[in-house]
Amino acid sequence: MKKKVKVITDPEVIKLMLEDTRRQILKLLRNREMTISQLSDILGKTPQTVYHHIEKLKEVSLVEVKRTEMKGNLVEKYYGRTADVFYINLYLGDEELRYLARSKLKTKLDIFKALGYKFDEEQLLNIMDKITEKEHSYTTKISKELEGKEEALKEFSNEDIIHAVDWLSMAELGRDKEALELLRKLGEILKKE
């Protein structure tokens, strides 16, 4: 049975799901079940390649066979996600994931510069990194709580659940004195001159 929320904490599983083709497969399976041939057509990849990626995702319980249909003499398998929403935490101590998290933040710095903001890059990056680490920590904690409350969430849309988690994470950050101090510093540094 498909869960509403699934928290992924294993760094190796996170790396596996961040690979581009697998990420695209997970995105395509978000809204409907699909066969290898359907995924292959959309992704422009061979069925063998798609099958390989599906098998990797199945091994770590991110996708599963949802149903089968007979098409002539062939059995078509329809694959789907094991959860509507996957939460990952890039701040789990794994150096490769830490690097990825910081590189995503560096892109934000480029956007700030393009908008005319002036700042010390390393100082801002370190503050943003600490805030994001705290946010990920709270989001993971809250998501784990939601995992055990599937029945209470069944009437809510995935989008509403994601937004609720965001708000609950912000509430946690608002009670965290260190996070509040980091946000104050962010406000001091990130302003137009």
The 10s digit of each residue's pLDDT in 16-73 is 998 999 999 999 998 899 999 999 999 999 999 999 999 999 999 999 999 999 888 8
- Residue whose C-alpha is closest to residue 173's, from 144, 143, 137: 137
Please give the model's pTM, rounded to 2 decimal places: 0.75
The 10s digit of each residue's pLDDT in 115-125 is 999 999 999 99
Correct CATH for 3-85 of 1.20.1530.20, 1.10.10.10, 3.30.70.1400, 3.50.50.60: 1.10.10.10
CATH code, 92-189: 1.10.20.10
Pair 35, 115: CB distance under 8 Å: no
The 10s digit of each residue's pLDDT in 105-154 is 999 999 999 999 999 999 999 999 999 999 989 998 998 888 888 888 88
Q: Where are the domains of the chain?
A: 3-85, 92-189
3-85 matches 92-189 in fold:
no
3-state secondary structure of 67: strand
Rg (CA), the chain: 20
Distance CA 90, CA 72 (A): 45
Determine the longest span between alpha carbons in the chain, in angstroms.
Answer: 70
